[in-house]
């Protein structure tokens, strides 16, 4: 039952400063606000879980990108899942579950004229759990699905390499590629993640990049005897450069992220082996998931089917403690500490 | 008239050592051999002109590339045009002009079983002069044509930027892009080249990259007010990085070469702004002209038509002095001294 709204305080995390390098506690401001009844057409959502993503680091920087930066003093942008607890909008009745971009706060209040822009959409928990809706059925899953299928264009029998293999996007990419008949080799940090990727997700192999300075080079040689046809890159840096030395003619490199570079205080490290693109008539192409919004429903239906019949697994690393622990939880991404899609639990239902 | 073959000496230039940085005289060996009558099915070609190309620098290095390196002691690989002076092959009668890869030598002798592999093909001098057959009707022209049309995929109204604009590939790219209805901005070294590119070739503008440290940045801002849709890159390095900051959503970057990096003694400079590909869902793709060999005839016919009706111009920088001056002539490419397609005249007809 919904408590009386007047008795509720909304705890929030706002961006206090633009971080230099790794974000620190000083970059965040914890605020609170009362929660108000929605006006005509509006909706009030109790946030259940937030998605913590590498892309958040980019949103904290000033400058042109695919979306504007988070302003100083603004509630930090975040995707999440919530429960409608008060509504004057029949499309989003009390008790409905919704996905969207609530930001790092406990309550998300959306006025009538903001509903469309907010991207709020109802979700069906019969297709997947709340955390799965932030993982394979959410932005990371959509990113992996469309990045692999539309930019990578896998053909059965090809070799697909994916970095951040145990992460949110990587687990989707690798499992979809297996379902499409590819040989799949992951790259992840540490033996536990690598073992999980192979034993649980069914990748053909997984290279532990932390195993030594030539681990990636040697691993690619061993596990990709036919070379690399598709490389789905979530990390950039040295790993991208090493994979570039092993690509096949007409290879596709999907640039999804570069987590190794996001906290740089110096310039991003450019791929010094990029001329391998020339030698191999290969392609390197960026993907931004929002471009595929029209096609989310069909991809979600496909993925939900795989989840249901057990052909796809999904792992989330759920941090408890609510928005108060957001700064520390986000840090797990950059240390590579998270194992599976990193989710912040904001409230139980 | 063909002189008695027995009285002819074939002067050659062979690769003596793998250069470190810029090639020097010590990297070459000048040799001579007698010329023999062709055996049954064979052809003897008197070389008229050789194509000097940036790609030659790559062929001198050890290691995997799109074609094997030139071996130490081997005649240096080079494309060229020649005249059949002795023949026991009816497909290539005496007096026919041919294109192919004679290498840096005065006579090119091809045995019956090597004709096909050699890529020898007859050319029609009514379509263009000997030097035009090494320029817009030859490999550089084909590279520019297919790189722009197939990888760049220009649409009327788009903005195309091309580096090395006064060079062999660049002049073709820019002129074709203009014919396809694009806005075309060149990048070249020095006011003379820039003036020629605009006044003679009809580019909309040309940026002199030697005009100052921010010349390219400022020039792109000024001359590409709608951003950059296609960048045809012949140079790599800082210029590639600067253009990456100005690309549009769904831009295409054609990686054709990186002459700024070919004589590096340190690692190639990777494009540190490559994440602009992600932000802009853009693509960077390599092109190797040999992949389009089946389609050369139709492209040559199109280009010859443009040459004939004056819609396309062609400029060659012809060095005289024969194979003896090859080492110095090649150096002009790397100093940026050549103006137009660099050709070595080996013999008058």
CATH of the domain at A14: 3.90.180.10
Closest C-alpha to B344, from B118, B49, B20 = B49
Out of A65, A281, A283, the one facing B291 most closely (by C-beta) is A281
Domain around A129: 5-135+315-345
* Same domain? A115 vs A10: yes
**Which residues in B have their CB inside 8 Å of a CB on A?**
64-66, 236, 241, 255-258, 261, 267-288, 291
Could you give the ipTM of this predicted complex?
0.88
Residue A6 has what pLDDT?
67
CA proximity to A331, closest of A342, A341, A321: A342
Query: Nearest CA to CA, how far is B255 from chain A (Å)?
Result: 6
* Residue B302 forms part of a structural domain: no
For residue A160, give the CATH number of its domain. 3.40.50.720
Out of B273, B290, B307, pick the residue that ends a domain. B290
pLDDT at A1: 42
**Gap from A345 CA to chain B (nearest CA, Å):** 29
- pLDDT level of residue A268 (50, 70, 90 thresholds): confident
Whether residue A309 lies inside any domain: the answer is no
Whether residues A144 and A282 fall in one domain = yes
Distance of residue A258 Cα from the nearest chain B Cα, in angstroms: 8
Same domain, residue pair B156 and B270: yes
Determine what percent of chain A is predicted with pLDDT higher than 90: 85
Computed over its alpha carbons, how large is the radius of gyration of chain B? 21
Instruction: Specify whether the CB–CB gap between A334 and A313 falls below 8 A.
Output: no
Distance CA B329, CA B100 (A): 20
Q: Which of B150, B153, B277, B278 to mutate: most A Cβ within 10 Å? A: B278
Q: What's the pLDDT score for residue A211?
A: 96
How much of chain A is helix, strand and coil, in % rounded to 5? 35, 25, 40
Pair (B251, B328) in one structural domain: no
What is the CB neighbour count within 10 angstroms for residue A26?
A: 10
Give domain status of residue A114, yes or no. yes
Same domain, B146 and B280: yes
User: CB A255 to CB B272 under 8 A?
Assistant: no
How high is the pLDDT of residue A4?
A: 60
Residue of A246, A263, A284, A287 to mutate, interface with B, max B Cβ within 10 Å: A284
Residues of A in contact with B258 (CB under 8 A): 275, 278
Same domain, A98 and A220: no
* Number of domains forming the structure of chain B: 2
Cβ-based contacts of B270 with chain A (< 8 Å): 241, 269-274
Mean pLDDT for the stretch of residues A163-180 = 95
Distance from C-alpha of B171 to C-alpha of B198, rounded to nearest angstrom: 11
* Helix/strand number for chain A, H first, E second: 10, 15
Enter the tokens of residue A50: 């937030």
- Is A207 within a domain? yes
B205 within 8 A of B244, measured Cβ to Cβ: no
pLDDT of residue A5: 67
Are residues A39 and A121 located together in one domain of the fold? Answer: yes
Closest by Cβ to A287, choosing from B65, B257, B281? B281
CA distances from A289 to A51, A102, A144, A293, B32 (A): 15, 18, 9, 7, 62
Within-domain flag for A295:
no
**Cβ contacts (< 8 Å) between A291 and chain B: which residues?**
281
Check whether residue B212 and residue B199 sit in a common domain: yes
Do B68 and B151 belong to one domain?
A: no
- The two beta strands, B247-255 and A205-208, are unpaired
Degrees (nearest 5) of the Cα angle A266, B231, A64? 45
| A272 to chain B, closest Cα gap in Å | 4
Between CA A37 and CA B103 the distance in angstroms is 82
- The structure's pTM equals 0.90
CA distance A265 to chain B (A): 13
Minimal Cα–Cα distance from A151 to chain B, Å? 10
CB contact under 8 A, A255 and B274: yes
- How far is B296 from B302, CA to CA, in rounded Å? 10
Whether residue B222 is found in the same domain as residue B81: no
Average pLDDT, consecutive stretches of 10 residues, N- to C-terminus, chain B (349 residues): 70 96 94 94 97 92 85 96 97 97 97 91 96 95 97 98 94 97 97 96 97 96 98 95 97 91 79 94 96 95 96 94 96 87 92
Q: What is the dihedral of CA B76, B82, B85, B91, to 10 degrees?
A: 110
Closest-approach residue (CA) in chain B for A246 = B64
Residues A280 and A339 placed together within one structural domain of the fold: no
Contact between B64 and A279 using a beta-carbon 8 Å cutoff: yes
Q: In the predicted model, what is the mean pLDDT of residues A7-36? A: 94
What mean pLDDT comes out for the span A2-13?
Answer: 79
Residue A21 and residue A119 in one domain: yes
- 3-class SS letters over chain B: CCCCHHHCEEEEEEECCCCCCCCCHHHEEEEEEECCCCCCCCEEEEEEEEECCCHHHHHCCCCCCCCCCCCCCCECCCCEEEEEEEECCCCCCCCCEEEECCCCECEEEECHHHHHHHCCEECCCCCCCCCHHHCCCCHHHHHHHHHHHHHHCCCCCCEEEEECCCCHHHHHHHHHHHHCCCEEEEEECCHHHHHHHHHCCCCCEEEEHHHCCCHHHHHHHHHCCCCEEEEEECCCHHHHHHHHCCEEEEEEEEECCCHHHCCCCCCCCCCCCCCHHHHCCCEEEECCHHHHHHHHHHHHHHHHHHHHCCCCCCCEEEECCCHHHHHHHHHHHHHCCCCCEEEEECCCC
Structure tokens at B11: 């002067």
Q: Which residues of B touch A243 (CB under 8 A)?
A: none
Residues A109 and A1: their CA atoms lie apart, in Å, by 18
Q: Which residues does chain B have within 8 Å of residue A251's beta carbon, measured at their own beta carbons?
A: none
Give how far the C-alpha of residue B319 lies from the chain's centroid of Cα atoms, to the nearest Å: 15
- Nearest chain A residue to B152 by CA distance is A283
**Which residue on chain B is closest to A292 by alpha carbon?**
B281
B-chain residues near A282 (CB < 8 A): 285-286
The residues facing A80 across adjacent strands are: A50, A100
Spatial contact of B148 and B232, defined as CB atoms under 8 Å apart: yes
Q: How high is the pLDDT of residue A263?
A: 73
Domain annotation covers residue B57: yes
Distance separating alpha carbons of residues B93 and B96, to the nearest angstrom: 6
Residue B301 lies in a domain: no
In this structure, is residue B337 part of a structural domain?
yes
């Amino acid at each position: 039952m919904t408590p009386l709204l007047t008795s509720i305080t909304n705890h929030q995390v706002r961006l206090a400063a633009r971080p230099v390098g790794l974000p620190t506690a000083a970059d965040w401001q914890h605020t609170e606000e009362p929660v108000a009844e929605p006006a005509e057409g509006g909706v009030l959502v109790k946030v259940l879980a937030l998605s913590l993503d590498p892309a958040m680091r980019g949103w904290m920087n000033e400058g042109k990108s695919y979306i504007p930066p988070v302003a100083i003093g603004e509630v930090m942008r975040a995707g999440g899942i919530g429960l409608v607890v008060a509504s004057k909008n029949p499309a989003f009745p009390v008790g409905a579950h919704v996905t969207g971009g609530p930001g790092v706060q406990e309550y998300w209040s959306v006025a009538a004229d903001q509903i469309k822009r907010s991207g709020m959409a109802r979700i069906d928990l019969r297709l997947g759990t709340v955390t799965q809706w932030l993982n394979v059925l959410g932005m990371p899953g959509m990113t992996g699905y469309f990045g692999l299928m539309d930019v990578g264009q896998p053909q059965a029998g090809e070799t697909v390499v994916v970095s951040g293999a145990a992460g949110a996007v990587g687990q989707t990419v690798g499992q979809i590629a297996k379902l499409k008949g590819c040989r799949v080799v992951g790259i992840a940090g540490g033996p536990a993640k690598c073992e999980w990727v192979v034993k649980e997700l069914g990748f053909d192999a997984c290279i532990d990049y932390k195993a030594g300075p030539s681990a990636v080079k040697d691993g690619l040689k061993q596990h990709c005897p036919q070379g690399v046809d598709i490389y789905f890159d979530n990390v950039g840096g040295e790993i991208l450069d090493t994979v570039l030395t092993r690509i096949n003619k007409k290879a596709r490199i999907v640039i999804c992220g570069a987590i190794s570079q996001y906290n740089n205080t110096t310039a991003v490290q450019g791929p010094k082996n990029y001329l391998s693109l020339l030698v191999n008539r290969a392609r390197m192409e960026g993907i931004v998931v929002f471009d595929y919004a029209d096609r989310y429903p069909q991809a979600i239906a496909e993925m939900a089917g795989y989840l249901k019949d057990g052909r796809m697994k999904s792992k989330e690393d759920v941090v408890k403690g609510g928005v108060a622990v957001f700064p520390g939880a986000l840090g797990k991404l950059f240390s590579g500490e998270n194992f599976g899609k990193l989710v912040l639990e904001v409230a139980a239902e």
